[in-house]
Chains A and B, each alone.
Chain A
Amino acid sequence: MQFRIYSPAEMDELKRERDASFEELGEFIAMVGDHCSAELRRVKHIESTRSREELEMAATRAAVHMIRALIKTWHLRGTVRPWDAYPQPYRTAVRHALTDIRREQKRLRTREWLTDEALPPRRFQPPEPFDDAGLETVDYYKPIPASLARLSPPLLAAVAARTLRVLAERNKRPKLDENQAIVARFLQEMELSIVAMTPDDIKRAESFEVVSDWRQELAASLGITIKRIYEITPLILAYVRIGYYLFIVLAPADEPVVDSASMNRLLDFVYLRGPDIDTTSRQLLQKAGPALTHERGTWQVDISAFIRDVRADLRKVVCSSDVDILFTLHSAEEVYARQVPMHTDPLMYQCVVRCKTHTLDGGSQDGFL
């Protein structure tokens, strides 16, 4: 990276906004790409893995920040400012990004969110009664109106597929065993054939004629009983819901977790003992995922089902009242959400009670505020 000393007059010229064509915009963006490549080449030789990774991340984030700013200015005013693609601002952007990365890591280590002061005041009233809403029966062939589907179906499909793949490849809990992984893959591939069907095919599929004995054949090929196949699909569905809960619901609206390394790390955080989260919080997070339900276009924890599961399975650890359980989950979600890559500050995600503190759209309840 080359630095130059510019005279005030040169600086004024570099910082002057000017009209630019798309091609000129592309040229400035390519300059940022060049700075990023040079920085990545430079840091490649750093011996400390952690420092290298942090600097690589900072180099990339800085480039994205600058490119985004260049495009934004061009969209708003049709102009560019050459200085915004120059090496000095890029280095400043790297410094900003590295500061943020370091700051976040140091903050994670302070565990400030576990202090009493970090907990929001308790004014939440639980919804009553805790009816068992049960699973909503889903009509696969009925398209969801776009106005209701707040989450894009391709995103849901990709996160489901990636969650299952990560679970199949993990060697620690939670994980899919071999049979579960094959059934998951089978279900993924089965939909491919359904997609290719004509409306008549779909009618036949609805009567299940074309898939008459899929479960039997699958059980035979796996050497397991058909009863076991019956048990596996709800389990896979529960894992998909866990994926939606951890990687979409508790992530920033724009930044669901889609890379497998982060998915793996977050699953470890929720399922394995660690210094940054207590056992009760982990167990409640584990219970909340499978209780996720799709309602009015959004995915949210079915509180009644969640409370029921917690009371059934976690008698030794749960708090005394339903409010306490929800309050503890709400706090646990905050602890978890800080681990999610690209989380915002303050944290914004769809918390279990959709409180105003965490919910981008202002929340549907008074919540804990």
Chain B
Amino acid sequence: MDSYEFSDSDLELVRLLRESAAADELVSEVRGGFSPERAALFLESPEKFAELADLVSNLAPGAGWFLAAATRSERGRLNLRLLDRVLRLRPTPDDHRFRIERRNGTTRLTVKTSPDEPASGAEIRLPAGRAIWSSTDLDAPPEIEFSGQTPVWLAGLIGEASAEAVASGADAVDVDEGPEISVLSRYALGLWLHRWHPGGTSEQASPFDESLLRVELGALASQAAPSSGASDQAAEWLNGTGLHILALADRIQSWTGWRRVLADSVLTAASRAYAAAFPRAPETEMIRALSQALERGDAEAAELADEFAEFATQDLPEPKQAMLAGQPGQSRVSGVTTVDPLLVPPRSVSALAPNVIWELVDQDGVTGLQVTVAPGDTPVSCLEATVMFDDQSQTIRLPHEAAGYRGILETPAEPPDTEVYVHDLGVPGPFRGPEAVQATRAWIEALLEARRDVLGSVEVDDGLALVDPERPFLAELVDWRAWL
């Protein structure tokens, strides 16, 4: 080959690199925004706009372009105009609609695909139906189901017009906001927290204040419309929380700003709901007085709250005990694992990972595989462990003792390839592998951490919109800031 020839490689390279400098610049602009002059050029020249249109058929506008379009300047105006034209070339479907399926007397409305994660949703039972919220999106329940006639509560969720369209046999309806959506969305988020919050960890020495969450869930349930059936659940949540309500009245006196606004609203609703649900409970008189004082004003409520100081929670559970300490010299740790949160009651086991060890021990003349599980903030009396080895499995009970949940599988030697799965009584699986368990834990942790980092950092004193279903729960606030 002579030196002046272009080989196939040369030609292909030159072709691929053709106008790469200009393309490089345009890619940067699609990602990062245009200068006013360049934006004007692409707006005014059909040829230049065609070049841009060609590129954005394969390259989505970047965050920088969106932010450039959101600035209050000539550059912002021109970028927005250009972005508007480009986005018209990339139409997106209107996904703000429920698809409706009817089968065997059951009607199912779905608006979007729920994440494929068992811990992602929270279900609210409704008369002859249910609504499932995703913890990732509280705007609307992605799934609503009911049997028989269109229920009264549907209008509360998706609005009158959409509910009527469902009743008249429509295949799809707009996702509208019914009057109940805000309180039920928040109730669903509270249910999610109650089910999936793992409890205190070593980073947060104090346990998760479940009683505070129960007070708030009771208050929320009481605020839902009677047709939803959720209001019937208020008494269930509030049962046994009378003293906690009184203690809360004292506790929040030092709170200020939006945290106080939130706390006052919870206290007002919870005390009213408690008095209605338990009219003859010993502390109801005091709670009723508190409710009336709250309605009359802050000063009177504060004066009354002073009297409740004695109810302030004195007996906070001990900080988490050190767990999983082996017994050197007497046992040999054979393995560790982490409990699948799907298989145990909320906060019954430690939030730490791993939280299970199994080891071969000699105890009281018995040789066996001892399984120990670190307890959580809300231990239960007993769990079970299914020990799998070879093709066999055996289930042992793990009563809650001082050192945690513990049980022994009698065996002269450790079986090979042992796997241990801890679960609630009578819940024999399905057992998931460590990756899936970790994925669920990560799913939960990510949401909790993001709520803490975003919502816990609000410092201004104007309060949160009380209708915002995302606002922090009081149990979260005290979890994020131990001094509250």
Contact = CB atoms under 8 A, between A and B. Distances in A.
A364 to B, nearest CB: 19
A135 B8 contact: yes
B470 A92 contact: yes
Interface stretch (A189-197, A272-280, A309-317, A332-340): A189-197
B432 to A, nearest CB: 9
A195 B18 contact: yes
A212 B4 CA distance: 4
B14 A194 contact: yes
B3 A226 contact: yes
B71 A230 contact: no
A215 interface: yes
A154 B435 contact: no
Nearest to A234: B9
Interface string B447-472: 10111011101101011111110100
A155 B8 contact: no
Interface in B1-28: 1, 3-24, 26-27
A161 B8 contact: no
A51 interface: yes
Given A64-B63, A160-B20, A226-B3, A233 B71 contact: no
Contacts of A195: 18-19
A111 B31 contact: no
Contact of A63 (B60, B66, B81, B83): B66
Given A33-B76, A91-B458, A191 B443 contact: no
Contacts of A60: 63, 67
B59 A155 contact: yes
B13 A157 contact: no
Contacts of B77: 26
A215 B1 CA distance: 11
Nearest to A188: B17
Given A103-B442, A140-B11, A154 B51 contact: yes
A128 to B, nearest CB: 27
Nearest to B57: A152
Nearest to A134: B8
B226 interface: no
Interface in B214-234: none
Contacts of A109: 442
A68 B9 CA distance: 42
Given A75-B87, A112-B439, A158 B4 contact: no
A71 B4 contact: no
Contacts of A255: 59-60
B396 interface: no
Interface in A220-235: 226, 230, 233-234
Given A5-B462, A33-B71, A236-B13, A138 B8 contact: yes
A137 B69 contact: no
A291 interface: no
Contact of A94 (B54, B261, B454): B454
Given A3-B464, A75-B88, A99 B433 contact: no
Contact of A102 (B138, B438, B450): B450
Contact of B67 (A36, A58, A107): A36
Contact of B1 (A5, A67, A230): A230
B278 interface: no
A139 B8 CA distance: 9
A152 to B, nearest CB: 5
A188 B136 contact: no
Contacts of A63: 63, 66-67, 70
B69 A29 contact: yes
B293 interface: no
Given A152-B55, A208-B6, A254-B58, A8 B19 contact: no
A13 interface: no
Given A88-B464, A92-B468, A230-B1, A154 B54 contact: yes
Nearest to B432: A117
B115 to A, nearest CB: 8
A115 interface: yes
B60 A30 contact: no
Contacts of B177: 15
Contacts of B453: 51, 55, 98
**Among B1, B16, B22, which residue has the most Cβ atoms of chain A within 10 A?**
B16
Contacts of B71: 30, 33
Contacts of A250: none
Contact of A155 (B55, B442, B465): B55
A94 B454 CA distance: 7
A138 B15 contact: yes
Interface of B: 1, 3-24, 26-27, 31, 51, 54-55, 57-60, 63, 66-67, 69-72, 76-77, 80-81, 83-84, 87-88, 91-92, 94, 136-138, 177, 258, 261, 433, 435-436, 438-439, 442-443, 445-447, 449-451, 453-455, 457-458, 460, 462-468, 470
Given A111-B435, A152-B55, 19 more contacts: A2-B462, A3-B464, A5-B261, A26-B80, A36-B70, A51-B453, A91-B454, A96-B136, A96-B137, A103-B446, A118-B435, A140-B15, A154-B54, A157-B17, A158-B27, A161-B20, A194-B14, A230-B7, A237-B12
24 contacts: A3-B465, A11-B465, A32-B70, A36-B70, A72-B87, A91-B458, A94-B454, A95-B450, A99-B136, A106-B445, A111-B435, A115-B435, A117-B433, A152-B55, A155-B27, A156-B16, A161-B23, A162-B24, A194-B14, A195-B18, A233-B13, A236-B9, A237-B13, A256-B58
The 6 A-B residue pairs whose C-beta atoms are closest, nearest first, are A33-B70, A106-B442, A154-B23, A102-B446, A103-B446, A161-B20
